[in-house]
Amino acid sequence: MKKYLIKWFIDENFHDKPFFFVSLRKITEANSENMENILSTYNLFLIAMAVAALLVFLALQFFEAGYGYLFDSRYGKPIPNKVGWVLMESPVFILMCMLWGVSPRQWDAVPLVLFAMFQLHYFQRSFIFPLLMRGESKMPLGIVVMGMVFNSLNALMQGGWIFYLAPADYYADWFAKPYIWIGAVVFFAGMAVNLHSDHIIRNLRKPGDKRHYIPMGGMFKYVSSANYFGELLEWTGFAIASWSWAGAVFVLWTFANLAPRSASLYKRYEKEFGEEFTSLKRKRIIPFIY
């Protein structure tokens, strides 16, 4: 009955709407043969995303992502940082809500928990984090657009698996298995590190002060980009909790984006602060390793 109610909802609301909703309807109606074709296409999408992550990682060895401390106007017209973050991060939050809202699995326990974990991060990142920002910093429009594109694709990657393409019994008895519990602990530990590190960075300056400072405290004792370590830890936890290739590819993307950026920030700290910074003997993003 639930499947037919979902089908009716999509037919009534989205039958004449864009391809995105038509595709969702086809997935909910797919027979086993069609589902195999859809899964094959999805797996090619995952491979393409993984290859793209590797290419981004290589490219960022030569180019810095020019926002924040590494701001570079060559990446496009500057827009207010707060606006940029909302525009960049909110598409994934909105698209995941849409994918969840028309899924026949929307009230299944494990997909709902994974959805809540994912959205908790992106609600904070899209709507709370920008409001907490201080100062009048800018972000290049090109960085915003690239972030919007990736986040939209990531919503399809994660939501597609969790709400539509995971085998019907894949998450059966998931709460009796270790993945969700270990993943949740790692995820929330990463979120705590990320939020605490952001708090430290946000409070480095007093109002009107435009100087740069070395972050101290928390995980900054071990790495120069503790906020990025926290985010990497979060998505590693999510990948464990979902135990999916989609989650693994997201971790790959997170590392491919943040590891080179942490290296660039490390070099910038070295250049600006010299021995004051190097004497701290921090790693870049992963404590004791890199």
**Residue 27's pLDDT band (cuts 50, 70, 90):** low
Q: What CA–CA distance (Å, rounded) separates 191 from 184? A: 10
Joined together, the tokens standing for residue 106 give 């929307």
Q: What is the pLDDT of residue 14?
A: 46
pTM of the model: 0.88
In this predicted model, what pLDDT tens digit does every residue of 127-167 receive, in sequence order? 999 999 887 788 889 889 999 999 999 999 999 999 999 99
Given a cut of 60, whether residue 10 has pLDDT beyond it is: no
Conformation bin of residue 262: beta by default, left when phi > 0, alpha when psi is -120 to 50? alpha
Residue 235 near residue 247 (C-beta atoms within 8 A): yes
In this predicted model, what pLDDT tens digit does every residue of 65-81 receive, in sequence order? 666 666 667 778 889 98
Q: Which ranges of 108-168 would DSSP assign to H, the alpha helix?
A: 109-123, 129-132, 141-160
As a whole number, mean pLDDT of residues 34-63 equals: 93
Burial call 238-253: b when 16+ CB within 10 Å, e when fewer: bbbbbbbbbbbbbbbb
